[in-house]
Structure 1
Amino acid sequence: MIGAITGDIVGSVYEFDNHRDKRFTLFRDDAFFTDDTVLTVALAETLMHGGDYGDAMRRWYRHYPQASYGGMFRKWAETTHAGPYYSWGNGSAMRVSPVGYVFDTLDEVLDQAAASAAHTHDHPEGIKGAQAVAAAILLARQGADKPAIRNYCETAFGYDLETSLDVIRADYDFDVSCQGTVPPAIRAFLEAENFEDAIRNAISLGGDSDTLACITGSIAEAFYGVPEWIEAEVFHRLDAPLAAVTRAFGERYMSAAR
């Protein structure tokens, strides 16, 4: 979960000022958490204490109404009884990481990832994107190597994970779809040498930088862990409510991370 929040914070300042290179300041002074972090925390809280994913997301939205949500999500969150809006956007994938740490079988992870997505992202691509990220996290924390993670995501979800970052980067554009975000984010993890390198890979692609790096970071944490200095930088940028849930979730579930 810290991995996802790291990617969100690091990418926040590059989302609309893309930096297509791995050489950049990892934590700029003006970096901040966005809706990616808020909704990740909402799911984490639900998994710790029970309740409804949709209710939690609406409640946390009310606490942080200015956190750069998408327009359709904002309309949904502001309407108490609104149903899902058939979204294929990458929001379902950027918030799903807690699911990959709480459950220990692929069936459970796939079911809960779909459930967390379906309140808003009930399009098949929205469901698939959340499932792919959560499954990759589960496999990574259970000791699978990168070829096994890649093979599963390609076979189960039909993603192209063969194209290198150098090729993707050449013409990658701002893409908020799951199908245009999740495969490059997974590839950024697959080409990484360590956690920090994974975040740098994701940012270097350009596009929707905070969400790309959020997804990449969530998987990279399960595989590599997060360096203590990076974790400290993250908590320095979280306010008390977000930090409290993040710490509690880490204490309860993250000891199983690789």
Structure 2
Amino acid sequence: MLGAVAGDVIGSVWEIEGWKSPHFEPLIGPECRFTDDTVLTCAVAEALLTDGDYAKHIRAFARRYPRAGYGGNFQRWFRSDRPGPYGSWGNGSAMRVSPVGWAFDTVAETLAEAERSAAVTHNHPRGVAGGQATAWAVFLARTGASKEQLKDEIAARFGYDLNRTLAEIRPRYCFDVSCDGSVPEALIAFLEATDYESAVRNAISLGGDADTQAAIAGAVAEAFYQRRTGVGVPEPIAEQVRERLPDDLTDVLDRFTTGRVRPSSPPPAAE
């Protein structure tokens, strides 16, 4: 979960820049901040820690931080007292889902829960798929899959072309908030990485939706490198990111990290 938050914070200053290189300094500058990706990731984690009501917690956290950078449809959704899903295929389902990838013991549970977390807003099939692909990638990474296994399984299930390279994608890539146009590229950024930091730098170097793609790549990278090397998000990065979070979001992060997650999902609520 910290991997997604740190990716969001690092990418926050590059979202409108169209930056096309992994080389930039500083990694975390004074203007870096948390955005909607962090707020909603914490909301999903809070739902997992408590009652499983994604709509309730996502709405509550968004109302607590109403200027974090949400899209227009989502703003209308969280400001409504009786919102239903609005058919989104955007990458909001993927940016917030990483806690699901840590919380369950089987692929079936992970995919089902990722669908539940997406469908309260992003109930379009491609919106659901983006959330599921990201959660499953985190699950595979933390349970010991190799990058080749992860690539093959995600590509086979969701139809993503993960055989492209960043060098091939980068020159023509532009800002794209769709799941189909941003999640595969974020996963490729992870696949070409050598550690957590390079995954985030790779994602930002695409010149697209930098904070969200860095959050997705960072979430998978944290799980993968934590399993492989014992270091997910390096401590210097973690410290700088935590300094930028308010106490309530840090509290969710800490409680989730200690593993106090509800044991199973309730049945989906009627929309």
CA distance in 2, matches of 1:166, 1:247: 37
Q: Quote the offset at 1:6 in angstroms.
A: 0.7
CA contact (8 A) 2:129 2:158 kept: yes
2:243 alignment counterpart: 236
CA contact (8 A) 1:100 1:137 kept: yes
CA distance in 2, matches of 1:232, 1:252: 20
2:86 alignment counterpart: 85
Q: Tell me, what secondary structure is at the counterpart of 1:252? A: coil
CA contact (8 A) 1:189 1:220 kept: yes
2:207 alignment counterpart: 206
Q: Do residues 185 (structure 1) and 186 (structure 2) align? A: yes
**Is the alpha carbon distance of 1:119 and 1:230 closer, same or farther for their aligned partners in structure 2, counting shifts above 3 Å?**
same
CA distance in 1, matches of 2:55, 2:166: 35
Q: Do residues 154 (structure 1) and 161 (structure 2) align? A: no
5 Å matches for 1:1-258? 1-24=1-24, 25-224=26-225, 225-252=232-259
> Tell me, which stretches of 5 or more residues in structure 2 are unaligned?
226-231, 262-271
Counterpart code for 1:233: Q
> Tell me, which stretches of 5 or more residues in structure 1 are unaligned?
none
After the TM superposition, which segments of 4 or more aligned residues of structure 1 sit over 2 Å from their partners?
A: none
Normalised to the residue count of structure 1, the TM-score between the two structures is 0.97
Q: Quote the offset at 1:252 in angstroms.
A: 1.6
CA distance in 2, matches of 1:51, 1:144: 28
Percent identity of paired positions between Structure 1 and Structure 2: 52
CA distance in 2, matches of 1:93, 1:165: 20
CA RMSD of aligned residues (A): 1.0
Q: Which has the higher helix share?
A: 1
Normalised to the residue count of structure 2, the TM-score between the two structures is 0.92
CA distance in 2, matches of 1:231, 1:168: 29
CA distance in 2, matches of 1:139, 1:253: 21
CA contact (8 A) 1:40 1:95 kept: yes
Q: Quote the offset at 1:253 in angstroms.
A: 6.7
Q: Tell me, what secondary structure is at the counterpart of 1:88? A: coil
Q: Quote the offset at 1:51 in angstroms.
A: 3.7
